[in-house]
Amino acid sequence: MVTLDLRRLRFLREFEERGTLGAVATALGYSPSAVSQQLTVLEKEVGTPLLERAGRGVRLTDAGRLLARHARVLLAAAEAAMSDLAALGEEVRGTVRAGGVQSAARHLLVPSLARMTSDHPLVRVEVSELELEQALPGLRLGSVDLVISDDYDGHPRPRPAGMRFEPLLSERLFIVLPAAHPLAAPGGPVALADLRDMVWVSSDETTGHHAMIVGNCRSIGGYEPDVRHHSNDADVQLAVVRQAAAVALLPLLNLPPEDPTLAYRPVAETDLGRRLFTVTRDRPMSPALTAFLRVVTDQVGRLASGQGRVDTLPRGGEQR
C-alpha cells in the first residue's frame, strides 16, 4: 500500500502551478536540487515517473498530472481539517499570510497587524507587499491566505476561478501636480487633454496603474503620454512630481493630507476611481483569517469616518 506524504505532494502541486523547479524552489525556500530530490522520492513512493524531460527543463507526465489533481484535493482537505480543529478551541489561533498593494499594506494591513497583536495574540500574521499577479500562485496553493488588490475604472482585473473577490473600498483618483504649476493655480479640475506636454510618472509598466494612465490619456486626452519615470512606491512618485515637475494620477489613499509642495486636482473630463478588494480562496476560512478580515474591515471604517478620505463599500456589495 502506497502512503502519500502531504509535504511531497505540495512540491508536486507547486510544480503544476508554477511550471519550473526554480520557481518552486524560490516559492518554498529550497534549492532546485532539493525540490528535484523530493519529487524523485515521490516518484519512488508511487512507483511511476511523474516528470519527464522537455527541452532544457522538465514537465509533468500523465501520471504526474493525475497525481497533482489528487494532491489539490488532499491538500485542500488537510487545510480544511486544520481550520476545523482551530475552530474547536476557545481562543483564535493560527497563521494568516496577507499581502497587498502598497497603499493597502500601509494603511490597512499594517494597522490591522497591530490590532491583531492586541486582540488575538495567538494569531501569527505575516504581511508582505504584493501585486495580485505575484500572489495568485500562492493563493491557489495555500502559501498566501489574503491579498488586497485594486482595479481602476475601465481597467478591471481578471477574476480567476477558485477565488473569492469581495469589495472593500472605493476612492477617487486625482491629478497630482507641483503646487507652482500654472494648471494648479485655479484650484478646480484639470483636463487630461491639457497635460499633453507633461512628463508622467507611473507604477511599473506591468501594473494596472500604468495601463490606466496610458489608457485614459489615449481615450480621454487623445495623446500618447510621455511616461518617463516608474516606481511602485507612491512616495517616490510624489517626489518625482515635486522635484522633476512631472505629473501623476493617484488614488486618494496614496496622498498625504497636507503637502504645500503638491496640488491635487480632480480630472475634468470624467470622474475616475479605484476600488480595493480582498481576494481569498473560495472555500471556508479559518477562524484566524476570519478574525483578521474583520479587523481589516474595521480599519476601512476608521479611515472613512476619521479622515473622510475614502468611500466604503459594504462587504459583498456590488462594485461599480
Q: Please spell the DSSP secondary structure of 105-158, one letter per residue.
A: IIIIIHHHHHHHHHH-TTEEEEEEE--HHHHHHHHHHTS--EEEEEEETTBPPP
Report helix, strand or coil for 99: strand
Of the segments 45-54, 68-77, 206-215, which one has the largest average pLDDT value?
A: 206-215
* DSSP state at residue 297: H
260-318 pLDDT, tens digit per residue, is: 999 999 999 999 999 999 999 988 888 999 999 999 999 999 887 765 455 543 332 22
28-56 pLDDT, tens digit per residue, is: 777 888 888 889 989 888 888 998 888 88
Locate 262 and state its grid cell.
503638491
128-149 pLDDT, tens digit per residue, is: 998 888 888 888 878 899 999 9
109-119 pLDDT, tens digit per residue, is: 999 998 999 99
CATH 3.40.190.10 range(s) for the chain read 94-168+279-312
Residue indicated by cell numbers 476611481? 273
Fold classification of 170-273 is D-Maltodextrin-Binding Protein; domain 2 (3.40.190)
Angle among Cα 4, 37, 45 to the nearest 5 degrees reads 30
The proportion of the chain whose per-residue pLDDT surpasses 70, expressed as a percent, equals 92
The pLDDT, as a whole number, for residue 314 is 33
The pLDDT, as a whole number, for residue 312 is 45
The pLDDT, as a whole number, for residue 2 is 67
| Amino acid type, 167 | P
CATH 3.40.190.290 range(s) for the chain read 170-273
The pLDDT, as a whole number, for residue 56 is 83
Q: Is the domain 94-168+279-312 a CATH 1.20.1560.10 member?
A: no
* Gyration radius of the chain's alpha carbons: 23
Q: Average pLDDT, stretch 199-227?
A: 95
- Work out the mean pLDDT of the chain and round it to a whole number: 87
Instruction: Assess contact for 165 and 279: CB atoms under 8 A.
Output: yes
- Give the H or E element holding residue 68: helix 62-88
CATH 1.10.10.10 range(s) for the chain read 6-86
Higher pLDDT, 315 or 183: 183
89-102 pLDDT, tens digit per residue, is: 667 888 999 999 99
May I ask the CATH class of domain 6-86? mainly alpha
Quote the CA–CA distance of 98 and 292 in Å, as a whole number.
Answer: 9
1-21 pLDDT, tens digit per residue, is: 667 888 888 888 888 888 888
| pTM over the 0.95 mark | no
